[in-house]
């Protein structure tokens, strides 16, 4: 395993020290592994909190700041944070208007956030509402499984709902908006290589030179099937088609198209992929109104990419365009 780390055990706390050193706008509670805005949440603003296993940077800590999250909890690599962290983050960020928990749909994340909400109800008067993202069409959704994974749409949701929160909308509205964004977003990912979890010290799975893993998540979980390595154009089709098959994006609604890098794939390849995705979308009658290309929700050093489409409307686009100042996304301010 070759990584720029000190020890597998210290990678999360070391990275948090780096984030604190690099971003004076942010405060870091190194004991509880919480990143929060240096400026307290303004009175009357609902606080947005997210969190999850580490290894997906810039998600979530890199999305703390004006226009997105108020605080983020960092778990161990690929391991959901513990309820105590989320409870602390909830207390730190609450400014009296309640707290929205943004939870990616993984058994661990959901259960830990659930326990945090139970604790918050028991120990504090803070009103907490949780919304769960589950946009990954690679996973068959059913009542009998853990359901779909939350992946790329989480980034878009944190941006859109974060902007709405800055407008002092009430908790219930924000939760509704968040559910809408999640409902209207779909994703699909592909891995060219495995990632290597620092504590494991070797790649999570072996992938021959001529094969790719289709339908991966963001934790090095194997995907749904292996297919031969193909040209970007074909891979784009393998990613976009299941997304379009799952939700109709062709109704003329403005769409936000997001090509995400999984950590080990450089930008030049993401642009090659974006070109193919844009071509397919244009041919399918999908109207792309905004785009985002880059590594925003990663899976350690995995080479690969994911495609997320979000069916927006004027209001969501307005919120997307609204000012944001975080380490990961920054514009308009």
Partner 1 sequence: MTFTEPTTVDVAAFDRWIRAFARAAHTHKELLTELDAAIGDADHGANMDRGMTAAVAAVDAAAGFDSVAALLKCVGLTLVGSVGGASGPLYGTLFLRMAAAAGTGAALDAADLARLLTAGLGGVVDRGKAEPGDKTMYDALAPACAALTASLDSGQDLAEALAAAALAADAGRDATVPMLAHKGRASYLGERSIGHQDPGATSVALLVRAAATTLVPAHG
CB of residue 15 vs partner 1: minimum separation in angstroms? 16
Assess 140 for contact with partner 1 (CB under 8 A).
yes
CA pair distance 139, 174, nearest whole angstrom: 27
The nearer residue to ligand ADP, 81 or 162, going by C-beta atoms, is: 81
Using N-to-C axis directions, what is the helix angle for 153-166 and 171-183, rounded to 10°? Answer: 150
Q: CB of 253 within 8 A of CB of 313?
A: yes
Query: Can you tell me which of 42, 96, 201, 332 binds its own copies, judged by CB under 8 A?
Result: 332
Closest CA to 86 of 47, 42, 46, 40: 47
CB-count exposure of residue 122 (10 Å: 0-12, 13-18, 19+): exposed
Instruction: List b or e across 67-96, with b for residues whose CB sees 16 or more CB atoms inside 10 angstroms.
Output: bbbbbbbbbbbbbbbbbebbbbbbbbbbbe
Closest CA to 81 of 13, 134, 33, 10: 33
CB of residue 166 vs its own copies: minimum separation in angstroms? 17
Angstrom distances, CA of residue 54 to CA of 11, 162, 229:
9, 21, 29
Asked about 56 being catalytic, the answer comes back as: yes
**What are φ and ψ of residue 114, in 5° steps?**
-60, -45
Query: Can you tell me which of 17, 111, 121, 172 binds its own copies, judged by CB under 8 A?
Result: 17
Asked about 23 being catalytic, the answer comes back as: no
Assess 108 for contact with ligand ADP (CB under 6 A).
yes
Q: CB of 55 within 8 A of CB of 74?
A: no
Binding mask 81-120 for partner 1 (x = CB under 8 A): xxxx---------------------xxx--xx-xx-----
**What are φ and ψ of residue 165, in 5° steps?**
-65, -35
Q: Of 197-205, 270-278, 288-296, 302-310, which part binds partner 1 (CB under 8 A)? A: 197-205
* 202: three-class secondary structure by DSSP: coil
Q: Of 63-71, 90-98, 123-131, 139-147, which part binds partner 1 (CB under 8 A)? A: 139-147
Catalytic-labelled residue, pool 23, 60, 101, 219 = 219
Catalytic-labelled residue, pool 23, 56, 60, 101 = 56
Site residues (CB under 6 A) for ligand ADP, limited to 32-61: none
Site residues (CB under 5 A) for Mg ion, limited to 77-106: 78-79
Count interface residues toward ligand ADP (CB under 6 A): 4
- Residues acting as catalytic residues: 56, 219
List interacting residues with ligand ADP (CB under 6 A).
79-80, 107-108
List interacting residues with its own copies (CB under 8 A).
2-7, 11, 14-19, 21-23, 54-55, 57-58, 62, 192-193, 209, 212, 229, 231-233, 235, 263-276, 278, 291, 293, 295, 298, 300-301, 303-305, 325, 327, 330-333
List interacting residues with Mg ion (CB under 5 A).
78-79
């Amino acid at each position: 395993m070759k990584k720029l780390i000190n020890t597998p055990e210290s990678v999360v706390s070391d990275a948090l020290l780096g984030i604190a050193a690099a971003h004076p706008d942010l405060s870091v509670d190194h004991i509880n592994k919480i990143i929060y805005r240096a400026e307290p949440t303004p009175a009357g603003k609902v606080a947005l909190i997210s969190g999850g296993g580490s290894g997906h940077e810039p998600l979530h800590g890199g999305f703390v700041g004006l226009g997105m999250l108020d605080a983020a909890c960092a778990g161990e690599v690929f391991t959901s944070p513990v309820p105590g962290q989320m409870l602390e983050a909830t207390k730190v960020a609450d400014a009296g208007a309640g707290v929205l928990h943004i939870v990616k749909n993984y058994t661990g994340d959901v259960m830990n956030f659930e326990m945090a909400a139970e604790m918050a109800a028991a120990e504090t008067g803070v009103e907490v509402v949780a919304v769960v993202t589950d946009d990954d069409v690679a996973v068959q959704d059913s009542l009998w499984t853990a359901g779909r994974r939350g992946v790329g749409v989480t980034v878009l949701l944190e941006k859109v709902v974060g902007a709405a929160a800055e407008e002092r909308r009430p908790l219930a509205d924000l939760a509704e908006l968040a559910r809408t964004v999640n409902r209207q977003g779909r994703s699909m990912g592909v891995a060219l290589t495995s990632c290597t979890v620092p504590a494991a010290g070797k790649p999570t799975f072996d992938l021959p030179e001529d094969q790719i893993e289709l339908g991966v998540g963001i934790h090095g979980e194997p995907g749904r099937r292996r297919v031969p390595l193909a040209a970007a154009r074909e891979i784009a089709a393998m990613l976009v088609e299941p997304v379009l098959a799952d939700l109709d994006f062709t109704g003329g609604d403005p769409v936000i198209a997001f090509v995400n890098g999984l950590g080990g794939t450089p930008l030049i390849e993401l642009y090659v992929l974006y070109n193919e995705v844009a071509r397919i979308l244009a041919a399918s009658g999908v109207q792309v109104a905004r785009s985002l290309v880059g590594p925003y929700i990663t899976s350690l050093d995995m080479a690969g990419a994911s495609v997320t489409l979000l069916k927006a409307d004027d209001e969501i686009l307005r919120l997307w365009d609204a000012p944001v100042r975080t380490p990961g996304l920054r514009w308009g301010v």
